[in-house]
Amino acid sequence: MSPSAEEPASGGSVDVAAPRAVARVLVESPLPQLDRLFDYAVPAHLRADVAPGVRVRVPLRSAGRIADAFVVELDTTSDHRGELSDLEDVVSTVPVLAPEVYRLARAVADRAGGSASDVLRLAVPPRQVRVEKAHLAALEEAAGAEPVADEAVEAHAVTGYSADALAGLVPARGRAAVDAVPLLAELPDGTWVGRWAVTAAELATVALAAGDDTIVAVPDHRDEDQVLRALAAVLPPDRVVRLDSRQSNADRYRAVLRARGATPLVLVGNRSVLLAPAERLGLIVVFDDGDPLFSEPLSPYVHARDTALLRQAQQGTALVFLGHTRSTDVQRLVEIGFLAEVRPDPRYQPHVVPTSQQAARDGFAAQARIPSTAWTEARAAVEHGPVLIQVAHPGYSPRLACTECGDTARCLRCNGPLVQRSQGAQPACSWCGALAVGWRCQTCEGTVMKSVGTGASRTADELGKAFPGVRVIVSDGSREIVRVDDEPAIVVATRGAEPIAPGGYRAVLLLDGERMLARESLRVAEDCLRWWANATALAARRAPVVLVGVGGALASALATWQLARYVSGELADRRELRFPPAVRVATVTGTVDTVAQALEALPPEVGREVLGPVEVPDAGVRAIVRFDFARGAEVAQVLRSQVIRAATGRRKAVAGRRGRPLPTLRVRFDDVEPFTD
């Protein structure tokens, strides 16, 4: 391939034997044609400062263009034919890119047909000069001081499981899907956390006692808070590092630099923590991998689960997928023998009561949103402490519709759905926030709206009237409540926003089950099972958990706590239909011509399993490619080459319906969005 105008000034294929300093760098650029290492000569005045992992600036072939880059390797020879361009400058002498992080970024990008620089953008925070200066000063001070031995870490027994079922997994570098104990645990300081957090902390002590690092990845800050509290009970504070997207750039940068030290650490954070530097990594723990927050929304869109699997393979670590239930992806790994199964011993079964499987004493009451059984349990339990009520949607009215025709009321500005966030509030757009002043139905010209469904705020208002004198607490996306006290209260929470109560809730009501299941999605059943199981784990021991409006196999699985068996059935159905995760998929989006050429380049066996192309508004056309896991590397390489070809080709931009230019070609692997309505 002839070099493009944006290609760095080095390339070629013959050896140059003259001894010299050559830096192989990865240019920080979103252009797919720049996703490889390039050789640059290191000038004599920069040789003392250039080392693998440092940030540098390099000239590109375009006149006057300078780009940022990371030094990946140093050598004395190059395959470039001719004279190498010199490095322009060293941005910082601090090596922020660890070798294991670059190898992981390269593997992640190759699996997803993306660019390593996009992965490193997630792994390495922007440079912070003050943090660097403080780091270098601390290193200089430590170099001149007497060495101090690190405080020894005691390995704790992993409670709730049979002897060595989990503790022996870490030194053996084993891999397992671990069912969490569905209860809360009290820490020495009186704080209550999920038993799963205690399990993760105890596993971390086993790895640290052996001198190895541990990475604990959780979906969000609520889970992170529990893990950090559990770790604080068993480890010194200096052995735990928090690293997540909620931190400022300075704090994230400081955490990355700490992780490159010689002291074994526990690194805790959300999906990005799996890209943290950890040279002596001994254990990776991923909690609740089915949570959608583990899906990376930025290119190359790799799920945290896949990042963990790639890192485990590269560094030979122990790997634990911990959760109250499993995703179908983890279940597939169990069924092919890649992961072992570990269950609590002794087994604890929550007291789950599906109302749909009870004989109805009052037909009308049984069909109510809160049937008589749920009312009875809630009234009895609230006298002794808090009661949790899980609902599907936040706000007051999650959906507004035209009274005349019943169509969803939509914003006149952006066509987004209108919602009512509190009683008496003016309806507003859930997308752009515009108030629905002078609203008129686009279908029938009606001017009156009606509420459809009940949100958390409306539920709280209704329960406040039904339970006079009892506190009603609402926890949803707009009101972050992490913990409540053990006084009597009704806690109305949306899924995933449930606070923790000391000792657990005296009763849990799972409402709106039918509405949650009505969502058209490939993962709707396993998502609902995960939401309900996580809420069930917040109940006190043997406290009633009432599942309302859901029957069949899903309700039976929750009632008997045979969650893995249900997920296995879901996976069997996917195999018959050849849907993920039984197979891998790639969505190919772009203009008609570029998508057609990309599909033609696929191997014939893969090309026969293409769904589409179909038109996608303002995105051109999209096709879905299905293929077996064994062909993943081949398909990724072919589609990646087509992305580069489309990016470097000279074509006239094609505009979409709204006048925006369509993407020339975009590829996304393992995306289930096309299977979701």
pLDDT tens digit string along 102-129? 999 999 999 999 999 999 999 999 999 9
Same domain, 449 and 314: no
pLDDT in tens, 579-634: 999 999 999 999 888 999 999 999 988 878 898 888 887 778 899 999 999 999 99
Number of structural domains in the chain: 4
Same domain, 48 and 133: no
Query: Percentage of the chain surpassing pLDDT 90?
Result: 56
Q: How confident is the model at residue 205 (pLDDT cuts 50, 70, 90)?
A: very high
Same domain, 424 and 413: yes
pLDDT in tens, 46-85: 888 999 999 999 998 765 688 999 999 998 888 877 788 8
Block residue for tokens 């399993």: 609
pLDDT in tens, 11-45: 433 333 345 788 999 999 888 888 999 999 898 88
| pLDDT attached to residue 284 | 98
190 contact partners, CB below 8 Å, separation of at least 6: none
Q: Whole domain around residue 627: which residue ranges?
A: 584-675
DSSP class of residue 392? S
Same domain, 261 and 403: no
| pLDDT attached to residue 654 | 47
- 457 pLDDT more than 80: no
* Residue 666 bridge partners (DSSP): 589
| Residue where one domain finishes, among candidates 33, 59, 93 | 93
Same domain, 249 and 365: no
- Please give the mean pLDDT across all residues of the chain: 86
| Residue where one domain finishes, among candidates 62, 93, 124 | 93
Tokens (6 digits) for 335? 């069924």
Same domain, 320 and 222: yes
Determine how β-strand 399-402 pairs with β-strand 544-547.
unpaired
What's the rounded Cα separation, in Å, for the pair 293 and 280? 27
282 inside domain: yes
- 356 pLDDT more than 80: no
What is the layout of strands, in order, in the sheet containing 66-75? 37-41, 22-27, 66-75, 55-59, 89-92
433: left (phi over 0), alpha (psi -120 to 50) or beta: left
Same domain, 332 and 389: no
Q: Are 641 and 33 in contact (CB under 8 A)?
A: no
Same domain, 442 and 565: yes
DSSP annotation string for 8-37: BS---SS-B-S---EEEEEE--S-GGG-SE
| Residue where one domain finishes, among candidates 349, 365, 383 | 349
579 inside domain: no
DSSP annotation string for 242-310: E--TTS-HHHHHHHHHHHTSSS--EEEESGGGGGS--TTEEEEEEE-TTSGGGS--STT---HHHHHHH
Average confidence (pLDDT) over 264-293: 95
- 146 pLDDT more than 70: no
Tokens (6 digits) for 498? 């449930």
Tokens (6 digits) for 76? 């004395």
CA quadruple 389, 324, 212, 191: dihedral sign = positive
Same domain, 274 and 163: yes
Question: How many other β-carbons are positioned within 10 Å of the β-carbon of residue 21?
Answer: 16
- pTM (predicted TM-score): 0.89
What is the layout of strands, in order, in the sheet containing 471-475? 351-354, 544-547, 507-510, 386-391, 489-494, 471-475
- 269 pLDDT more than 60: yes
Tally the residues of the chain. 677
DSSP class of residue 146? P
* Residue 622 bridge partners (DSSP): 589, 614
- 361 pLDDT more than 60: no
Cis amide bond preceding 346, omega within 30? yes
Q: For residue 231, give the amino acid letter.
A: L
* Residue 418 bridge partners (DSSP): 429
86 inside domain: yes
